[in-house]
Copies of this chain bind each other. A is one copy, B any other.
Amino acid sequence: MQMMADGPVEPVGFDATAVADRGSSRRTNLGLILRLLRDHGARSRSQIASDTGLPKATVTSLITELVERGLVREGKVDRGKAIGRPSHEIEMDGRNICGVGLEVNADYISAVALDGHGTVVFETRAGVDVRGLSAEVAVGVLERVARQGLEAVRANGVEPIGMCVATPGVVDAVQGNVVFAPNIGWRDVPLAAMLRQRLTTSAPRLQVENDARLAAVAEHAEFAQRGVSELLLITGEVGVAGGIISNGRPLRGYAGLAGEIGHTRFGSSDQPCVCGRTGCWETVVGLSALLNRATSPGDPVRDPATDLEERLSELLQRAADGDQRARTALDEVAVNLGDGLAVLADILNPEIIVLGGYFAFFGDFFVPSVQQRLDSRVMTPALPGTTVTRSRLGFTAACRGGAQLALEAVLQDPSLVTAPAMAGNL
C-alpha cells in the first residue's frame, strides 16, 4: 500500500463540507457509501443506491473502487432478492485497516492502534521524562514507539492507513508543528516533518493535534451512537485543558487555540500562576493545587518520582478514610471546577461534560458536585440539561482520538488509500 505522506497535511477529518465544496464529488460519494456501511451495516448495492440517492450504475462503480482499495468486501448473499441472479451484500471491511494514535506527554510516550471497527489492535506505553530530553531525542523515542506499532499491526495483516500524534499545548495542525507546549518544554518543533523524515516511506499519512482535542474525539466516539454531537472534555494533570466537540466535530478555533482554558480566569481567585498572571483556572483546579492543599511538603503524595496513579490512589484512600484535609482539598477543587464548567456550559451548551485526566480519578467526588452546580443554574427547566460524567478511557484517550481521527480522514475521503490493503484477500 502506497500512502500520500508528503508535505503539510490538512486535518480533513474536521470538515466534510469543505471537502465536498472543494474537491471531487466522486471522493465525497465514496466516503458517503463507506460511512453508510459503517454506521448502518451491510446491505445490497440496490439498497445503497436507494439510501444514497445515487444511480445504481454509479454505486456499482464506486463499490468496485472501494473493493479495490480494500475498504469494503462482498459478504453473505442478499436473501431479500426474490428473482434474478443472487447478489451479495456489501460490508465495510474494517479488520484489514487501522489508524495509529501516538502521544507525547510529560511522563510518557505511547501508541494505540484501532481497526476500522474501533477494536484495539496494538497498544504500548513507554515511561519517559520528556521534559528532561531535547525534542530531537524525544522524537527518537516516538519513532521507536511508532515503528513498533506499525510493524506489529502489519505482522497481523492490518495496514495502518493514517497516524496522528497528540501533544499538549498549541499545535499548528496544517503544518504539523508544535508551536508552544510548556508542559513538555517544546516551542516551534516541526514534529510531523521530523517524524516523517525518520520513518521515511514506511509510514502512512501523518497528522499532529492537541491532546485534549483528540481526547474529546475519543470520548465523543463513546457517545456518538447515542447521537451526541455537543460534548466538552476537561483534562487535567500538569496543565488543565478542554476539548470541544460541536456539530460532531472538534472545534479548533482560528489558530488552534480553542479549549486552551488552563490560563483563563474563572471566578475570583488571585493565586499566582506559573505563567506570570494571577487567578488562572490551573491555579485552583490543577493537580498541583489539589496536592498542595491536601498535603504538607515532604508528603510522599507530592513526590513526582512516584507513579501518579499510586499517589492519586493514596489520596483517594485518605479521603475515603475521613482525612479532613484531603476531603476539604477535594471539595475546594470541586467548587472551582464547577464554577469554571458552569461558564463553559453557558457558552457552549454541551449535552455531555466528560471529566478526564486526574479529574476522572476523583470522579466520585467531582461528578455529583459539578452536576449539582450546573443543575442549580438552569433557567429553562423545560429544556434538557447537561450531563456530567467521568472518562472511562484513562490515560489512553488522546491516543485513541488520534487513531480515530486518522481513520475518519479515510471515511471522508477513501481515495487517500491509494492501493488495495490486502490484494491477496480479494
> What residues of chain A have their CB less than 8 Å away from a CB belonging to chain B?
14-17, 20-21, 23-29, 32, 35-36, 52-54, 170, 172, 179-180, 188, 230, 242, 244, 246-249, 251-261, 263-268, 275, 339, 342-344, 346-351, 379-380, 382-386
Q: Which of A26, A170, A252, A346 has the most chain B CB within a 10 Å cutoff?
A: A346
When C-beta atoms are compared, the residue in chain B nearest to A350 turns out to be B254
Beta-carbon contact of A180 and B379 below 8 Å: yes
Min CB distance A177 to B, Å, is 10
Contacts of A188 in B (CB 8 A): 382
| Contact across chains for A25 and B17 when beta carbons are under 8 A apart | no
Q: Is the CB of B52 within 8 A of A275?
A: no
CB-contact partner of A25 in B29, B347, B351, under 8 A: B29
Inside 8 A of A172's CB, which chain B residues have their CB? 383
Q: Check B32–A170 contact: CB distance below 8 A.
A: no
CA separation between A32 and B260, bound complex, in Å?
A: 35
Given A230-B253, A265-B342, A347-B348, 6 more A-B residue pairs with CB atoms under 8 Å apart are: A15-B247, A21-B36, A172-B383, A255-B383, A265-B343, A344-B347
How far apart are the CA atoms of A351 and B252 in the complex, in Å? Answer: 11
CB atoms of A246 and B255 under 8 A apart: no
**Using Cβ atoms and an 8 Å threshold, which residues of chain B touch A383?**
170, 172, 179, 255-257
17 pairs, A vs B, C-beta closer than 8 Å: A14-B247, A17-B17, A17-B247, A26-B53, A170-B380, A180-B379, A251-B251, A251-B348, A254-B386, A256-B383, A257-B380, A259-B349, A264-B347, A265-B342, A265-B343, A343-B343, A347-B348
Report the bound CA distance from A264 to B385 in whole Å: 16
Choose among A342, A350, A380 the residue with the greatest number of B CB atoms under 10 Å from its CB: A380
CB pair B20–A347 under 8 Å, yes or no, is: no
- The verdict on A246 contacting B257 (CB below 8 Å), with A35-B21, A379-B275, A380-B180 known, is no
**Chain B residue with the shortest CB-CB distance to A27:** B53
Choose from B258, B266, B351 the contact partner of A343 (Cβ within 8 Å).
Answer: B266
Q: Tell me which residues across on chain B come within 8 A of A15, comparing CB atoms.
A: 247
Interface residue from B28, B253, B266 paired with A350 (Cβ < 8 Å): B253
CB distance from A387 to the nearest CB of B (A): 9
CB of A363, distance to nearest CB on chain B (Å): 21
CB neighbours of A244 from chain B (8 A): 347
B384 & A254 in contact (Cβ 8 Å cutoff): yes
CA distance A403 to B93 in the complex (A): 45
